[in-house]
Amino acid sequence: MSEVFEGYERQYCEASASLTRKCTAAAALQGEKLKQKAAEIKSGIDGAEALIRKMDLEARNLQPSIRAGLLAKIREYKSDLNNLKGALKRITSGNAQQGAREELLESGMADALGVSADQRSRLLRATERQNQTTDRLRDSHRTMLETEDLGVSILHDLSQQRQSLLRAHNVLDDVDDNIGKSRRIIGGMVRRMDRNKWIIGLIIAVLVLAILVILYFKFVH
């Protein structure tokens, strides 16, 4: 539920309770005091109507799933306010003024204000239940956000670990490439050494053969 709506709702409930008490008190008044009290009640009713209009405007700007329940509460508030208007009208009506006051005093405003008080009591209980439900939803939403943050953190850590593994894999690939190059270089050196051995052996053989030829000609002739 919107916090703005809750604020208007609290103000309306307080105003409605105050108007009920004022109507009960006005039923025992006469003359100028009654006129003053009636004007005060009328001003309070106008203020309550303004609060209902603000609640209606705020409710219509909310999500449809929330809006329907709030509009139902607003209809009950309007009914409650109409009961207060009817009570004020009966108190201040011309010829029936005295009879209406006595009836209201005897019955404790059972018809109008009793219904109003009963409606207000039910609305307050419903509001309390809805606020509790809203608190539970907020707790669930907060838990979900915390879980989401934890999941994001875990995914971030896994991503970093994956990057580290990829870098390690790239390093290993570079090491493998270097080892391959080293093997090729060593293989080339071994082949050159073998070739040099053959060349040196061939040179030695030629030298030995030359020496033998020289000795042959020397001793034979």
> What is the structure's pLDDT at 50?
93
> What is the structure's pLDDT at 97?
47
- This prediction's pTM: 0.45
> What is the structure's pLDDT at 124?
65
> What is the structure's pLDDT at 140?
64
Question: What are the residue ranges in the chain where pLDDT is below 50?
Answer: 94-97, 100-101, 106, 109-110, 112-113, 115
> What is the structure's pLDDT at 96?
41
Report the CATH architecture of 1-104.
Answer: Up-down Bundle (1.20)
Domain residue extents for the chain: 1-104
3-class DSSP state of 64? helix
